[in-house]
Amino acid sequence: MSTTTPVSSVVNVGADLLADAVANQAVDVARVDWRPPLSGTEADLAAVAADPLRRDANARAVAAYHGVTARLVDVVPASEALGLEPGQFLHAGPPITWDRASGPLRGALLGGAAFEGLVEDPEDAAALFESGSSVSLEPCHHRDTVGPMAGVVTPSMWMFVLEDLETGRRTHCSLNEGLGKVLRYGAYSPDVLERLRWMRDVLGPLLQGSVRAVRDSAGPVDVTGILTQMLQMGDEAHNRNRAGTLMMLRDLAPAMVLESERGGLSPNDVAEGLRFIGGNDHFFLNLAMPACKLALDAARGIEGSTMVVAMARNGTDFGIQTAGTGDEWFTGPAQLADGLFLGDYGPDDANPDIGDSAITETAGIGGFAMATAPAIVRLVGGTVPDALATTRRMHEIALAENPRWSVPVLDFQGTPTGIDVTRVCRTGILPQINTGMAGKVAGVGQVGAGLVTPPEEIFPKALARLAELARERAAVVAAH
């Protein structure tokens, strides 16, 4: 990361806080930022650099992203929120078929089929998915939804509904089940299904009543604003969501107490709901993710923009979409995370990277905001200086800083926002994601957490398409 120059100066890469501190002590500091571009990208980088649309398109994409405030307006079943029909299954990441699906995605689909009553024994559902006659798979992202890990959504699951009140645009996410043996990590044992049924029968109605009551009295909860607070409270909103969960609990608890009777729920149900949410530090992840998607979707479809609007993994493929390339996915093989393992699990037990949760990094938090959550290194590995340096490094590939999401320890610098495909290709710096790790065998559940990056080749692929579109536009201009 750094080298020294003779005697009286320090060469510093990335960590400006250090650079400033050293400078204050009267040592000369040279800030350097140079790496070779990803190989083979030179011509495409030149084409995109020459695109007259690019600068303004990226500014518009960033502004559109910054303009969104995500509010929690409702909690409703997926059948109602998304029009999901029996036999339709959503999953994380880019499109995939059963034959290429990884263990944890398969496990979650089996469990989801049993939860929906399509089969009695989850394992009997494998035949359904193999034949494909009565079931279908579709990415969450294609239905204004994001799903953590396997990201399987079925019609009976309750969904958080987030809305940008300015435009009426909405995004969705299921309710978080907790950690360990849970459906999203590919587990489908009887206790997993029992928890899902309790969430369907008790937690969903309890949340619906309270979210609607808060919406109709104080106004819908500002999820973007809670994220602002979380980032000052040691959460990076991907693998630490403890403060966010507690603030959501604080905001909904009084209405839970007051609305439960109307919903036919008992004080015991309310107490159990409060305990479930309070006991699950990851509960807020399923609100952070659709808030990030809602903001990023505002930047979709801006011709010439090189900003990444989605990063998502299905356990087999890692895909990205950009503002300037419509709904096209640029994919490559999902990588194995490097991190810490639960119990006796080790690297051989882990599935490659999975889940739509990298939407948090796409929005500039999660791995991009590790500096504000140094305690995260105890979960995902690495050191505290690494965490600080990571956020600094992510600024090198970001178009902007988020004025609403600041990092106190970096002197309130805004989080790095808007991954720029051209900067990734030019610097070779890949987005840093921190993530849970699912067991690679269906049914196992979580085995650890760690750090991972996208496969390098997807950025040159996206760049090539952006360059192609730029050249087409240039040709049209030249022809006139």
Binding site for a second copy (CB under 8 A): 2, 4, 7-8, 10-12, 15, 17-18, 21-22, 25-27, 229, 232-235, 242-243, 246-247, 249-251, 253-255, 257-258, 261, 267-268, 270-272, 274-275, 278, 374-375, 377, 383-385, 388, 408-412
DSSP 153: B
Minimum CB separation of residue 284 from a second copy in Å reads 12
Choose between 39 and 229: whose C-beta lies nearer to a second copy.
229
Minimum CB separation of residue 450 from a second copy in Å reads 18
Choose between 193 and 258: whose C-beta lies nearer to a second copy.
258
Minimum CB separation of residue 365 from a second copy in Å reads 15
Choose between 163 and 269: whose C-beta lies nearer to a second copy.
269
Minimum CB separation of residue 252 from a second copy in Å reads 10
What sign does the CA torsion over 274, 286, 84, 165 have?
positive
What are the two backbone dihedrals, phi and then psi, of residue 135, each rounded to the nearest 5 degrees? Answer: -130, 155
CA–CA separation, 201 vs 382, rounded Å?
Answer: 41
* Contact call for residues 438 and 188 (beta carbons, < 8 A): no
Choose between 37 and 234: whose C-beta lies nearer to a second copy.
234
Minimum CB separation of residue 246 from a second copy in Å reads 4
Choose between 12 and 422: whose C-beta lies nearer to a second copy.
12
What count of other Cβ atoms lies within 10 Å of the Cβ of residue 32?
A: 11
Minimum CB separation of residue 135 from a second copy in Å reads 39
Choose between 111 and 382: whose C-beta lies nearer to a second copy.
382
Choose between 84 and 377: whose C-beta lies nearer to a second copy.
377
Rg over CA atoms, the chain: 22
**DSSP H or E stretch at residue 174:** strand 170-174
Numbers of helices and strands, H then E, in the chain? 17, 17
Minimum CB separation of residue 176 from a second copy in Å reads 15
Residues contacting residue 389 through CB under 8 Å, at least 6 positions apart: 1, 14, 15
> Length of the chain, please?
480
* Contact call for residues 252 and 382 (beta carbons, < 8 A): no
Choose between 50 and 271: whose C-beta lies nearer to a second copy.
271
Sheet holding 317-322, edge to edge: 330-333, 317-322, 308-314, 354-355
* Helix axes of 285-297 and 242-259: crossing angle, nearest 10 degrees: 100
Minimum CB separation of residue 403 from a second copy in Å reads 15
